[in-house]
Each structure stands twice: as C-alpha cells, then as structure tokens.
C-alpha cells in the first residue's frame, strides 16, 4: 500500500489549499522545529551541567549546557522573564539560549536537517539572536556551521575540528583547528541589542551532503570582537544570547526531491492519527548512534519519545523496528549492525514500560536502499531506523 508524504510546512499546505498546482513550488525550510515550539515538557530549571534533551530535534554537541525557555516554563525558564534575562520570543512561545562568551567558554545548538544539502546549490541561512541584558559583554562572530557528520566534543570551550593524522605505522597525532562556519555575522557588527531580535543571515554554496547544522561562536575571544557595554548589568560571566526562528532554504531547488516525494515512509514528527494503519511504515528521523555502534545517543530521546507517545496512545498497536545501513561495509557486518541498532530501540521502549509482546525488530543491513549509495546524500537517506505497524 502506497503511503503519502506528510509535510509540516505551512507554506506548502497553503499552496495546496489554494489550488497551486500551476504555481511554482516554494523550497521549504529544511530545519525541523525551527522556532523551538515542539518540546517534550515545559522547562523547569537552568542546569549548568545539564543537557538539552526536551526540545524536539535539537541538542547540544558539547558539554556546554544550552538552555530552553517557553511561556509555560518555570520562573527560571519563562518567557519573557527568566533567570538569565528578559525577552519575548521572536516567533511563537519558545526559544533557546547559549553562551557565545567573551571568554573561551562556549555553548552550541545542533540539529539534523530534513535532507542533506545538494552540491552546487545556493542556500540562504537565517536565524535571530538577542543579547541578555544580564551579560558582561557582547560579541560579533556568531554563525552557523554545516557538516556531513555530527560534530561534537566533551569540552566546554570553543568547538574544534580534531583530526587524527597517521605519522608512521602505529604513530598518530591529533591536530586541532578552528571550524569555519559557512555563515557568520560580520566582525564589525557587534551584536549588542538587548531589546530587539537581530537577524544573522547569509548565502553559501553547498559542497553536497551537509546534513548537520551547528549554531554558536566558533572563534576564540581574541577574534570575536568582544566589547563591554555600560548598559549591561554584568550578572553573567560572559556574552549570553537567545536564539530563535532558524531557517535554511535552498534558493534554486524548485523541485521537491523525487526520492522524498515518492518514498513509502513518513517521518514520525509529521505523522497524524489516520496514517497509523497496518502495514504503514514510518521513519525515525532523529535517532542517532555512536559511530559504528548500536549505542543510542541522548539526542535520540526526543524522537523516541514521539514513538513512545504513539504506542501509549494506541495500546493495541504492535510494531516492528527495522534497521537499515548504507552500502559501505560487508553484508554480514551491516546485517549485525542494523539488527543491533533496531534491538537498541526496542530495549529503550521496553525500559519505558512498553510490553515486549508488542515489539519486534529486524535488521536489513544494506539490502533495502531507498536512494543511491554513490553519494553521501544518498547514503544518508539509506542509513535509517523505521517502525512498521504490525497490528492495531
């Protein structure tokens, strides 16, 4: 049975309602949850050693603890007033906050895009920032970095690109360098406004295959154009910025991707109740594992919470978790890896109270690609975890 692709894009929905069959298609925003409106629970506290886990599709890539704010939040995490400042949301009810600091302490936000960027295409990136009046300074060089793979570290300082270089047989060296974000605010334009939201935007040409976006300050303090302001209260030890309304749009992609438009799978975040029919298959878009392992990463929990909610709302539903890999590696290796990853998802659901009798899992390795394995973009589509409705 052919399943339809469901989109969250308001623009495309309006286009369809208006009978826009003869109108040019608008390229959608490639960012899930762009203004942080979807969340698992209302934020309750600012935790200096915590991790960002309650905002759908977003997470922190380092030990620097990003924060979430919403009108439903506690006194510490409310909107407009909260523990680290006062600001209304630029769009909707929520936003995030990170240190982009006048020191080398850093916090970052990271997300996976809806699809990898296409080689040679130009993309417009936009997001809004506002400086907390409780800061002790302001900086200029906040930007957005796009990478093929997730980047991250266990540090709380500037996120560095660390490469292991083989110097001789059995001898290696780790070389660290600063990342170069594709879009960055101008050095001369220090981001000083504590009342209004300031837009950071730019256009760049994709190399192709970039799937992850990281937002923050990738420069050391000495290169960030740090300034002090008399208007600030100096309650915080650095430059703290609220982040909202993130957008990545392809300027020349007027055609919806054929493999996305015609796919038989639907992302969980886009699923609605009437699509849960026996035989229907859904993609778990934001389920991440350690490289070449079956260990679930903490940034997977938001997406798995969606699946958990579905199972709790449909107590008779039984599902099968299916693991898939790209074409790299042997058949046996990919078969084991896909099985173990599917099993890890099942074990997570069981740990949250789902009856094991409602769950099955299978691994298909690289035998069921939905795209080419020639390009990184295609391989990214093929690496996936899905769930299929077995019975209702």
Residues 246 and 347 both lie in one domain: no
Specify if 3 maps to a domain. no
Q: Which pLDDT does position 164 carry in this prediction?
A: 75
Q: Which pLDDT does position 2 carry in this prediction?
A: 33
| 372: containing domain | 258-391
pLDDT one-digit tens code per residue, 21-53: 444 445 789 998 999 998 888 999 998 888 888
Pairing between β-strand 109-112 and β-strand 58-59 as defined by DSSP bridges: antiparallel
Specify if 4 maps to a domain. no
For residue 272, give both structure tokens. 């609605």
Of 137, 138, 210, nearest to 179 (Cα)?
210
* CATH code where residue 201 lies: 2.60.120.260
Residue 362 CA to chain centroid, in angstroms? 26
Specify if 21 maps to a domain. no
d(CA 285, CA 82): 32
In angstroms, the Cα distances linking 66 to 4, 59, 71, 108, 384 are 36, 8, 17, 6, 27
Res 189 pLDDT > 50 = yes
Last residue of a domain, one of 228, 250, 272: 250
Q: Rounding to the nearest 10 degrees, give the CA dihedral for residues 252, 256, 257, 260.
A: 150
d(CA 120, CA 210): 12
CA angle 113, 114, 120 (to 5 degrees): 75
pLDDT one-digit tens code per residue, 293-350: 788 876 777 788 888 988 998 999 999 999 998 888 899 999 999 999 999 999 999 9
Confidence at 182, pLDDT banded by 50, 70, 90: very high
CB 93 within 8 A of CB 193: no
Residues 296 and 382 both lie in one domain: yes
Residues 232 and 320 both lie in one domain: no
Helices vs. strands in the chain: H and E counts, helices first: 5, 19
Mean per-residue pLDDT over the chain, rounded: 85
Q: Rounding to the nearest 10 degrees, give the CA dihedral for residues 297, 271, 339, 384.
A: -70
Last residue of a domain, one of 250, 273, 292: 250
Rounded to 5 degrees, what are φ and ψ at 129? -130, 155
SS3 state of residue 333: helix
Q: Which pLDDT does position 52 carry in this prediction?
A: 87
d(CA 202, CA 194): 22
Residues 65 and 168 both lie in one domain: yes
Residues 112 and 214 both lie in one domain: yes
Residues 246 and 262 both lie in one domain: no
Residue 289 CA to chain centroid, in angstroms? 14
pLDDT one-digit tens code per residue, 202-261: 999 999 999 999 999 999 999 999 999 999 999 999 999 999 999 999 998 864 443 333
Specify if 308 maps to a domain. yes
CA angle 161, 163, 166 (to 5 degrees): 170
Residues pairing with 127 in the sheet: 200
* Cis peptide, bond prior to residue 40, ω within 30 of zero: no
Q: Which pLDDT does position 10 carry in this prediction?
A: 32
Residues 192 and 275 both lie in one domain: no
Number of domains in the chain: 2
Q: Which pLDDT does position 216 carry in this prediction?
A: 98
CB 315 within 8 A of CB 306: no
| Higher pLDDT, residue 196 or 13 | 196
* CATH code where residue 319 lies: 3.30.1330.60
Specify if 9 maps to a domain. no
Residues 63 and 163 both lie in one domain: yes
Q: Where are the beta strands (DSSP E) in 288-374?
A: 318-324, 359-363
Distance from the first to the final alpha carbon of the chain: 16
Q: Rounding to the nearest 10 degrees, give the CA dihedral for residues 144, 225, 138, 89.
A: -20
Last residue of a domain, one of 205, 225, 250: 250
Sign of the C-alpha dihedral, residues 26, 183, 101, 56?
positive
| Higher pLDDT, residue 378 or 202 | 202
Specify if 229 maps to a domain. yes
Residues 237 and 377 both lie in one domain: no
Specify if 357 maps to a domain. yes
For residue 23, give both structure tokens. 């109108």
Residues 70 and 206 both lie in one domain: yes
Residues 86 and 219 both lie in one domain: yes
CB 120 within 8 A of CB 250: no
> What percentage of the chain carries pLDDT values higher than 90?
56
CB 333 within 8 A of CB 382: no
d(CA 272, CA 276): 8
DSSP state of 338: H
Confidence at 273, pLDDT banded by 50, 70, 90: low
SS3 state of residue 347: helix
DSSP state of 275: G
Specify if 10 maps to a domain. no
**Quick one: average pLDDT of 354-360?**
93
Residues 289 and 174 both lie in one domain: no
**Quick one: average pLDDT of 374-386?**
82
State which H helix or E strand residue 15 sits in.
helix 10-17
State which H helix or E strand residue 216 sits in.
strand 212-217
pLDDT one-digit tens code per residue, 116-172: 999 999 999 999 999 999 999 999 999 999 999 889 888 999 999 988 777 777 777
Q: Rounding to the nearest 10 degrees, give the CA dihedral for residues 122, 62, 228, 83.
A: 110
């Amino acid at each position: 049975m052919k399943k339809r692709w469901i989109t969250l894009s308001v623009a495309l929905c309006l286009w369809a309602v208006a009978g826009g069959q003869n109108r040019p298609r608008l390229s959608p925003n490639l960012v899930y949850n762009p203004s942080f409106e979807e969340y698992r629970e209302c934020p309750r506290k600012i935790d200096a050693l915590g991790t960002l886990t309650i905002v759908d599709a977003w997470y922190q890539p380092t030990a620097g603890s990003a924060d979430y704010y919403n009108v439903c939040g506690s006194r510490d995490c409310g909107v407009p007033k909260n523990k680290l400042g006062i600001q209304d949301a630029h769009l909707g009810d929520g936003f995030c906050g990170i240190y982009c600091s006048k020191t080398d302490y850093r916090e970052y936000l990271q997300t996976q895009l809806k699809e990898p960027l296409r080689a040679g295409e130009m993309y417009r990136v936009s997001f809004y920032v506002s400086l907390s009046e409780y800061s002790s300074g302001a900086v200029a060089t906040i930007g957005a970095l796009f990478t093929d793979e997730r980047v991250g570290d266990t540090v709380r300082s500037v996120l560095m690109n660390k490469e292991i270089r083989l110097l001789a047989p059995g001898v290696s060296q780790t070389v660290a360098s600063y990342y170069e974000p594709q879009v960055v605010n101008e050095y001369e334009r220090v981001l000083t406004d504590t009342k209004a939201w300031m837009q950071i935007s730019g256009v760049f040409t994709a190399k192709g295959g970039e799937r992850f976006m990281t937002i923050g300050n990738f420069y050391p303090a000495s290169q960030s154009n740090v300034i002090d302001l008399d208007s600030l209260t100096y309650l915080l030890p650095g430059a703290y910025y609220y982040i909202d309304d993130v957008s990545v749009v392809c300027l020349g992609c007027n055609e919806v991707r054929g493999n996305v438009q015609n796919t038989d799978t639907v992302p969980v975040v886009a699923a609605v109740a009437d699509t849960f029919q026996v035989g229907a298959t859904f993609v778990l878009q934001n389920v991440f594992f350690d490289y070449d392992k079956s260990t679930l990463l903490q940034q997977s929990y938001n997406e798995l919470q969606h699946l958990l909610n579905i199972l709790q709302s449909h107590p008779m539903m039984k599902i099968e978790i299916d693991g898939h890999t790209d074409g790299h590696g042997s058949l046996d290796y990919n078969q084991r890896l896909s099985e173990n990853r599917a099993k890890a998802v099942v074990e997570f659901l069981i740990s949250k109270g789902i009856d094991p009798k409602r769950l099955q899992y299978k691994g298909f390795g690289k035998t069921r690609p939905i795209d080419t394995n020639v390009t990184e973009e295609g391989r990214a589509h093929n690496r996936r975890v899905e769930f299929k409705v077995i019975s209702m």
